[in-house]
C-alpha cells in the first residue's frame, strides 16, 4: 500500500470517558488509528468493546454533559477535538457523514423521506426547496430505489428496512463527503439485502474516493469489504493490520479465538466450535495488566501485572500482546 501525503483521518491516543454514578468509565482508552483517502477501515469487536464509541467520538455525537474526550482526532489537518461547535456543524454531514445501524430510528417517522433528504441537501448546499427535492429524487435513483419520484412521497414505515438504509446512504452521500462512518450499517438486514447495501457503499466509495470507517462485528464483512482492520477489546485496539495479514495470521490470542469461534460455511462441521473462556469484564472491573489476560490461554504472571503496548510485530502489523511470538510460532491453533 503506497503512503499518501497526509492521512485523511488520524486518531491519536483517543480517550473517551463517561462519568456515571458508578464513577468514571473509560469506554475508549488510548485508541490510535489512521485512514487514507479511498481506504476502508474495519473496526471489529464484540459488544461493549468501544467500537461504536470510537466512531461517535470522531463527530462528538455523545452526550456532552457526561462525556469527556482526550487526545487528537485530526481530519484533513484539523483537530476535531479542538474545533468549536460551529466548525463541527460545518463538518458533520458535509465532509464526514455517518450511517447508523437502525435506519428506522434514524429517520423521522412523520416526515416523508423526500423531505428528509431534501432538508439535508438544503442545509448543506444552500439550494432552494424545489431544487433540493429534485436532488433528493436524483439521489434516491442513484442508490437503486425503483420509481424514486413516487418514493419521495412515502413515509419511512412504508418502505422496507433495506430501502430505509438506502435512503440513509442517499442522505449521507448527498454532500459527497470525504469520510463516511458506517456503524453496523447492515446488522439489522437480511444477508441478501446486506450484500446489496454493502456493494452500493463500495460503489460510491470508489466513485468519490471516500474513506470509510466500517464498524462491524462480522469478520466475513471485514474480509470481503475492508482494506485494513483494527480489532478492539475493552476500549483498546489490540491488533491492527491490513485485511490479508489479519486473516492469514492473526497474532493476538483474542483475535485468534474470535475468528476460530465464527461458524463457517465450509470445513469440518462435526467438530466443536472453539470458544473463548469467560466473558468480557465490565468497564468498572478492567483487569490490571493485559485486559484480555484473565481469558487468555497464553497468559503468564507478567500479563496479569503489566499492560503490553501496541507494538509492531511485522511490517504493517501491530499487536498488543506480550506473547505474540508464541502465536507466530503456532502455539495457538488457528483453524482458518
Q: What does the block give as the cell for 67? A: 462525556
Strand order in the sheet with 78-79: 23-35, 9-20, 67-75, 78-79
Q: Which of residues 148-167 bind another protein (CB under 8 A)?
A: 160-163
Give the nearer residue to another protein in terms of CB position, either 151 or 178. Answer: 151
Distance set, CA 127 to CA 108, 122, 240 (Å): 21, 5, 42
Nearest distance, CB of residue 292 and another protein, angstroms? 12
Which is closer to another protein, CB of 133 or CB of 221?
221
Which of helix, strand or coil describes residue 282? coil
Tell me if 187 contacts another protein by CB under 8 A: no
As a whole number of angstroms, the distance between CA 159 and CA 176 comes to 25
Look up residue 112 and give its DSSP letter: -
Taking the complex as a whole, the smallest distance from the CB of residue 103 to another protein amounts, in Å, to 14
Q: Is 193 in the site for another protein (CB under 8 A)?
A: yes
Which one of 225, 292, 322, 324 is in contact with another protein (CB under 8 A)? 225
In angstroms, the Cα distances linking 230 to 24, 41, 97, 326 are 25, 7, 20, 21
- Decide: is 47 part of the binding site for another protein (CB under 8 A): yes
Exposed/middle/buried for 252, CB within 10 Å: 0-12, 13-18, 19+?
A: buried
Determine the 3-state secondary structure of 222 from DSSP.
helix
Least Å distance, CB 150 to another protein, is: 15
Site string for another protein, 271-300 (x = CB under 8 A): -xxxxx--xx--------------------
Question: Got the DSSP string for 296-309?
Answer: -TT--HHHHHSPPP
In the complex, the smallest distance separating the C-beta of residue 222 from another protein, rounded to whole angstroms, is 8
Q: Give the total of residues touching another protein (CB under 8 A).
A: 42
Q: CB 265 → another protein: shortest distance, Å?
A: 5
Judge whether 73 and 56 are in contact, CB under 8 Å. no
Q: Which is nearer to another protein, 219 or 324 (CB)?
A: 219
Least Å distance, CB 275 to another protein, is: 5
Nearer of residues 85 and 192 to another protein, judged by Cβ: 192
Task: Give the closest residue to 216 by CA, choosing from 12, 54, 14, 32.
Answer: 54
Interface map 229-248 toward another protein (x if CB under 8 A): ------------------x-
| Cα gap 36→38, rounded to integer Å | 6
Residues within the interface to another protein (CB under 8 A): 46-47, 160-163, 190-196, 198, 217-221, 223-225, 247, 257-259, 261-266, 269-270, 272-276, 279-280, 336
Amino acid at each position: 500500500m503506497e503512503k499518501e501525503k497526509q492521512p485523511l483521518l488520524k486518531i491519536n491516543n483517543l480517550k473517551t470517558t463517561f462519568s456515571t454514578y458508578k464513577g468514571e468509565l473509560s469506554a475508549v482508552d488510548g485508541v490510535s488509528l489512521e485512514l487514507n483517502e479511498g481506504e476502508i477501515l474495519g473496526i471489529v469487536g464484540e459488544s461493549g468493546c468501544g467500537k461504536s464509541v470510537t466512531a461517535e467520538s470522531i463527530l462528538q455525537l455523545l452526550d456532552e454533559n457526561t462525556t469527556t474526550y482526550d487526545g487528537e482526532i485530526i481530519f484533513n489537518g484539523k483537530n476535531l477535538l479542538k474545533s468549536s461547535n460551529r466548525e463541527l456543524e460545518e463538518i458533520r454531514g458535509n465532509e464526514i457523514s455517518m450511517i447508523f445501524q437502525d435506519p428506522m430510528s434514524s429517520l423521522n417517522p412523520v416526515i416523508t423521506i423526500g423531505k428528509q433528504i431534501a432538508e439535508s441537501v438544503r442545509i448543506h448546499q444552500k439550494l432552494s426547496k424545489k431544487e433540493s427535492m429534485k436532488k433528493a429524487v436524483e439521489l434516491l435513483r442513484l442508490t437503486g430505489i425503483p420509481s424514486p419520484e413516487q418514493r419521495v412521497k412515502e413515509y419511512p414505515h412504508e418502505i422496507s428496512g433495506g430501502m430505509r438504509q438506502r435512503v440513509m446512504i442517499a442522505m449521507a452521500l448527498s454532500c459527497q463527503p470525504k469520510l463516511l462512518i458506517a456503524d453496523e450499517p447492515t446488522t439489522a438486514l437480511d444477508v441478501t439485502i446486506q450484500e446489496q447495501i454493502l456493494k452500493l457503499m463500495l460503489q460510491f466509495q470508489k466513485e468519490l474516493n471516500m474513506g470509510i470507517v466500517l464498524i462491524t462485528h462480522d469478520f466475513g464483512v471485514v474480509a470481503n469489504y475492508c482494506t485494513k482492520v483494527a480489532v478492539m477489546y475493552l476500549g483498546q485496539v489490540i491488533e491492527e493490520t491490513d485485511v490479508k495479514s489479519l486473516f492469514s495470521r492473526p497474532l493476538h490470542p483474542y483475535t485468534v479465538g474470535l475468528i476460530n469461534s465464527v461458524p463457517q460455511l465450509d470445513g469440518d462441521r462435526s467438530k466443536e466450535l472453539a470458544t473463548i473462556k469467560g466473558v468480557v469484564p465490565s468497564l468498572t472491573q478492567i483487569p490490571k495488566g493485559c485486559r484480555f489476560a484473565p481469558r487468555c490461554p497464553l497468559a503468564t504472571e507478567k500479563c496479569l501485572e503489566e499492560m503490553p503496548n501496541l507494538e509492531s510485530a511485522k511490517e504493517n502489523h501491530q499487536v498488543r500482546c506480550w506473547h505474540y511470538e508464541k502465536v507466530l510460532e503456532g502455539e495457538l491453533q488457528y483453524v482458518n
